[in-house]
Structure 1
């Protein structure tokens, strides 16, 4: 009887010790699981700066530097663009971009241009389609400075009635149609740019300063601010 009690006590003791050991083991494994999850979270990079496919919108001003300067006032320049970063390194990046620009200008009346020119419609609308390549070097983690260059085509429609233009305006000027309106003008453009990556992961703000020359049109410059969303 005594022997049975001793054996029963030993069995109960061993069972209790095993159960406690398993409980501590479970607690340790849970702690290790929590730690491993936290370690993984800490190890995963938080990507605040995104590069890749993007949409960009520009708003600013533009003015002419050549023959239009005396007759056409400074105006507004807006643009919408799609592009993609095809080179992404720590200190540099490159991107291609397709952009559509719109320029709006006012100018002097046609009778003020008579005899002196330039023979262009006083109120101008210009539409430009361009392809550009952009390069940026990074002064810090968020600030990039670089430049871009590209080319395309500029088109400026005649806003007044064609018959009035031919019968009144060209007659007052005493010339044939100079061919400025209603036909495409090849254009080249380029200049410096600035970009700042905000703490909102997909958004960046920038500044573009472009000098452009359209063949058969004029030399000009635009300075615009932009907002870019990168997917």
Structure 2
């Protein structure tokens, strides 16, 4: 009987105290919802880009003979970094192949003639000039200007033995898709080979992925 009385007294005195302590602890440490994870609408930073399209040379390099208008194809890969929303700095490698008739002898003195190709490593800088918002007030479409310089090496060597410095610049339009990492664009550039005075231009769609 004494044991039962003691147990009842313990229950009456201690259990309410424990309940009040638990309630006070719960009020000091309320349960919170897990914060929602947010993402950037447009990813910027390190990027990888590819572009390809038709390219043209108005007056291909030559020491003698005709310099006929030459059409061809060019492709380029680029790795770089976005410096904020407006500027990007990149390193590129571009290859091109141009058609030329048998009367084009370049700088070979008549020892070779015909088609030629080039390989150009270099650096490029792009600046977003104007941005346009979509219906969610996110700037996804940009008008930009891009300029670059590279070291142009030609093939076959017998036809065009000397390398040249290539400079180019032009406008483009870029759209950042809702896939966040991807953007697509179209660029028109004019080019100039410093030593030979060769003028050219290209129209290149491009695809870009930002990490």
TM-score bracket relative to the smaller structure:
0.7 to 0.9
TM-score by length of 1: 0.68
Counterpart CA distance in 2 for 1:10 and 1:194 is 83
Structure with greater proportional strand content: 2
Matched, 1:85 2:82: yes
1:4-55, Cα deviation, whole Å (9 max, x unpaired): 96x975642343434444565676678x3342xx2xx33x541242222222
Question: Gaps spanning 5+ residues in structure 2: where?
Answer: 61-65, 134-138
Residue 219 (structure 1) aligns with: 199
Render the CA deviation track for 1:93-139: whole Å, top value 9, x for unaligned. Answer: 111112111111223222xx59xxxx994312122222221111432
- What does 1:33-182 align with in structure 2 at a 5 Å threshold? 33-35=31-33, 38=34, 41-42=35-36, 45-64=38-57, 66-68=58-60, 71-86=68-83, 88=84, 92-110=85-103, 121-137=113-129, 138-140=131-133, 141-158=139-156, 162=158, 181-182=160-161
Matched-pair contact (CA < 8 Å) for 2:59–2:70: no
Taking a change above 3 Å as real, the CA distance of residues 71 and 143 of structure 1, as seen in their structure-2 partners, is: same
More helix by share: 1
Which residue of structure 2 lines up, in the alignment, with residue 209 of structure 1? Answer: 188
Query: Are the structure 2 counterparts of residues 100 and 121 from structure 1 closer, same or farther at C-alpha, using a change threshold of 3 Å?
Result: farther
Inter-partner Cα distance in structure 2 for 1:103 and 1:217: 18
Alpha-carbon distance between aligned partners in 2 of 1:25 and 1:209, rounded to the nearest angstrom: 69
The Cα of 1:58 is off from its aligned counterpart by 1.1
TM-score, normalised with respect to structure 2: 0.73
Distance 2:28 2:187 in 1: 56
- Ranges in structure 1 where 5+ consecutive residues have no aligned partner: 163-179
> CA-to-partner distance for each residue in 1:159-180, whole Å, 9 max, x for gaps?
7xx4xxxxxxxxxxxxxxxxx7
Residue 164 of structure 2 is matched in structure 1 by 185
Distance 1:51 1:158, change over 3 A: same
Write the distance in 1 (CA, Å) between the matches of 2:73 and 2:20. Answer: 77
Number of aligned residues: 192
C-alpha contact 1:203 1:228 (8 A) present in aligned 2: yes
Gap change, CA 1:230 and 1:206, over 3 Å in 2: same
